[in-house]
Amino acid sequence: MHSISGIVYLLLIACLMPYVFTIFAKMTGGFQSKNNDNPREFLANAKGIAARAHAIQQNSFESLPLFVASILMAEYMVIDQRTIMTLGVAYLFLRVIYAICYLANWSTLRSIVWLLSMACPVFLLILVIRLT
């Protein structure tokens, strides 16, 4: 039997990561309490680095279901713990690199890193499929 605590940390970090970029987008975009009546409109109209941080937040939420499903399915199918943790940590690390590339406006590198980050949960699901 293996420890599930590492898996829980992976999921917690992945689930909280989009909110970090939401806060960053609001801070860099000049969000004030008066904007709280309609924060989505504020973020939709953000410019520059705030707009890019908002895009990171949106993309982080979009990739989250695949990541969560792959981690849970891999755990359920008893994929080797080291494999789950390696691919999970790689996903999180690549998502941070993706965010840096997005904030720096390095679009080609950002796309490459995005593809690598998405390969991590896809590979986990392929391992799960091979066990069925």
Q: Stretch 101-118: mean pLDDT, rounded?
A: 98
Q: Residue 48: how many CB atoms within 10 A of its CB? A: 10
Residues 61/104, Cβ–Cβ less than 8 Å: no
Q: Please determine, for residue 1, whether its predicted confidence score (pLDDT) is greater than 50.
A: no
The contacts found for 78-84 with CB under 8 angstroms, 24 or more apart, are 79/124, 79/127, 79/128, 79/131, 81/2, 81/3, 81/6, 83/124, 83/127, 84/7, 84/124
Confidence of residue 37 (pLDDT cuts 50, 70, 90): confident
Report whether pLDDT(2) > 80.
Answer: no
The average confidence (pLDDT) of the chain is: 94
Which domains are present in the chain?
A: 5-131 (1.20.120.550)
pLDDT in tens, 21-30: 999 999 999 8
